[in-house]
Structure 1
């Protein structure tokens, strides 16, 4: 069978490679984590940091994926986009989501590897090295955590929900305050762990009922959205119409029961 986006064999091969790449990156990151006080840290923007750990992890992922699938594009947080932007398949990679947590010795950080095909997230692998939890799934391949099947939440009312609510300095603080007020007024609660990709993995696994962030980069979002799709969830078109994949966009994802309620709650047109 030809190795194409619609080929089960092609997707299975890529999923296996992504799982291997995520674990290799995680192993490397753990070695840096144990001596993080020695890392040279650069600040890219407001509360946005990078270290050699991020760069080496991305290089390790690319060293596995790019030779195996040379026809695929590659969009990494640290290296940008390479290969054909019009490629049928584009890897979207954040080698270390939650860098601030990582550098401070907190526990919520992960490796995120997603695959994009002509406007759709089709494969996701998110690895939490500290907990040794590997979230993996793809179109037609049921999502699992360390091999155990998972699915999205079936909670039926907002006043019973815990929603991941993300924020960054690309969005005005007042907008986040309004979103939080809307959620609280509806009886819901929110969670933040400082790693949006990990929160999307938790949505796919039913650990939180949904996730909303007014802007996420594609290297953070694609893997989690693919997992949520495979787990039976719903999400906004990503990125929004007329926006190039590297520019990212708004993310709203949840189980199917409350998806429209969340759209209405946050007044998304």
Structure 2
């Protein structure tokens, strides 16, 4: 296996494959979305659901990426780890982020495919099938949405900020309340759409000024963080030192002007 990240040509090939894979998964998910009342739904945990739509979408992504790049590892939300502990490059895949929204007929859900290399997110593709918006970018490759270049917010004042603030049942509600109070007291506001990967894509595109969540799985976070890096943003080391990639961790990402402000505000330094 290579000891260095892939060349630009290698990344371009993987980016094209990831775009194809996310669109194929999105097409499949749309077919299920139109008949979602017929889906058999399983509950994995508190407010955490899965259906055949998630599993089929992940299988469709794997069927494109694994044969094309057999040396790469694969870490999927539904299928788990395959070669991810030893490979230099690891695909981190959430076939359907925002499953609850999907099942209820809400609009905020997406497909997220990221690539990880030796401690760094290096490529991300996030596809919103309902809006037909594809966010794509990688190290050395200009990030775009539907082919149009994107960049992070340049907002420098917290009282003009809209921050994505995520929560899940792995984090105590009191901790979320404290974080929200800190943000409000500083004059900021927050947005939440119920799909953390989509919110990270919005950070990369400058639609929100940042995103903070005290725990995100790698299949939700890696693609968005790679997009944010390519779009000129900053983020907290992910996952935190000493934590294995499949365990996930804290996510804080924003434009450079407010990054340290958010680090201090949420006491992450």
Matches within 5 A, 1:172-251: 172-251=172-251
1:84 Cα deviation (Å)? 4.7
- Deviation sequence 1:58-96 (CA, Å, 0-9, x none): 000000000000000000000000025121100000000
1:2 Cα deviation (Å)? 9.2
Q: Let me know the Cα RMSD of the aligned residues.
A: 1.4
Cα distance in 1 between the residues matched to 2:91 and 2:263: 28
1:197 Cα deviation (Å)? 0.1
Cα distance in 2 between the residues matched to 1:34 and 1:101: 13
Cα distance in 2 between the residues matched to 1:2 and 1:122: 15
| SS state at 2:42 partner | strand
TM-score (norm 2): 0.98
1:6 Cα deviation (Å)? 3.4
Does the 8 A contact of 1:216 with 1:250 survive in 2? yes
- Deviation sequence 1:232-264 (CA, Å, 0-9, x none): 000000000000000000000000000000000
| SS state at 2:163 partner | strand
Does the 8 A contact of 1:216 with 1:249 survive in 2? yes
Does the 8 A contact of 2:2 with 2:88 survive in 1? no
- Deviation sequence 1:125-159 (CA, Å, 0-9, x none): 00000000000000000100000000000001100
Segment drifting more, 191-200 vs 78-87: 78-87
Q: Unpaired segments of 5 or more residues in structure 1?
A: none
TM-score (norm 1): 0.98
Cα distance in 2 between the residues matched to 1:138 and 1:54: 25
Cα distance in 2 between the residues matched to 1:267 and 1:61: 38
Does the 8 A contact of 1:165 with 1:213 survive in 2? yes
Cα distance in 2 between the residues matched to 1:54 and 1:267: 36
Q: How many residues are aligned here?
A: 269
Does the 8 A contact of 2:139 with 2:230 survive in 1? yes
Does the 8 A contact of 1:143 with 1:150 survive in 2? yes
Cα distance in 1 between the residues matched to 2:257 and 2:191: 20
Segment drifting more, 96-105 vs 76-85: 76-85
Does the 8 A contact of 1:107 with 1:130 survive in 2? yes
- Specify whether residues 49 and 8 from structure 1 end up closer, same or farther in structure 2 by C-alpha distance, changes over 3 A only: same
Cα distance in 2 between the residues matched to 1:211 and 1:19: 24
| SS state at 2:167 partner | coil
| SS state at 1:130 partner | coil
Q: Unpaired segments of 5 or more residues in structure 2?
A: none
Does the 8 A contact of 2:92 with 2:114 survive in 1? yes
